[in-house]
C-alpha cells in the first residue's frame, strides 16, 4: 500500500488554483501580474517533486526549505 503524500497533494491543488487565477487575470488583461503569479505559484509543486529525488536527508531538507520559501513569497 502506497503512503499518502499530503505535501505533494496540497502543492498540486495549489498549482491548480494558481492556474485558474492566472486564467481569470488573463481575461482581465493583467498580463504581467498573471505571468509572474503562474511562474511562482507552480514552482512550489516543481520544487516539492524535485525534493522527492533528493540524494540524502540533508539535500531533501534543503530542497523542501526552498519550496517553503517560494510558497511564502507567493
Whole-number Å distance between alpha carbons of 68 and 47 = 9
- pTM for the complete prediction? 0.75
Mean pLDDT of 41-52: 90
Average pLDDT, the chain: 89
Question: For the CA atoms of 21, 25, 30, 32, what is the dihedral angle to 10 degrees?
Answer: 30
- CA distances 27 to 11, 14, 19, 21, 38, Å, are 25, 20, 13, 10, 14
**Is residue 73 pLDDT above 80, yes or no?**
no
- What is the maximum span of the chain, computed from C-alpha positions, in angstroms? 46
pLDDT band at 31 (very low <50, low <70, confident <90, very high): very high
pLDDT band at 1 (very low <50, low <70, confident <90, very high): low
**Is residue 15 pLDDT above 90, yes or no?**
yes
**Is residue 21 pLDDT above 80, yes or no?**
yes
Amino acid at each position: 500500500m502506497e503512503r499518502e503524500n499530503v505535501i505533494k497533494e496540497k502543492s498540486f491543488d495549489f498549482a491548480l488554483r494558481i492556474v485558474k487565477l492566472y486564467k481569470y487575470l488573463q481575461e482581465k488583461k493583467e498580463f504581467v501580474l498573471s505571468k509572474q503569479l503562474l511562474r511562482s505559484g507552480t514552482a512550489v509543486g516543481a520544487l516539492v517533486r524535485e525534493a522527492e529525488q533528493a540524494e540524502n536527508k540533508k539535500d531533501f531538507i534543503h530542497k523542501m526549505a526552498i519550496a517553503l520559501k517560494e510558497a511564502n513569497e507567493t
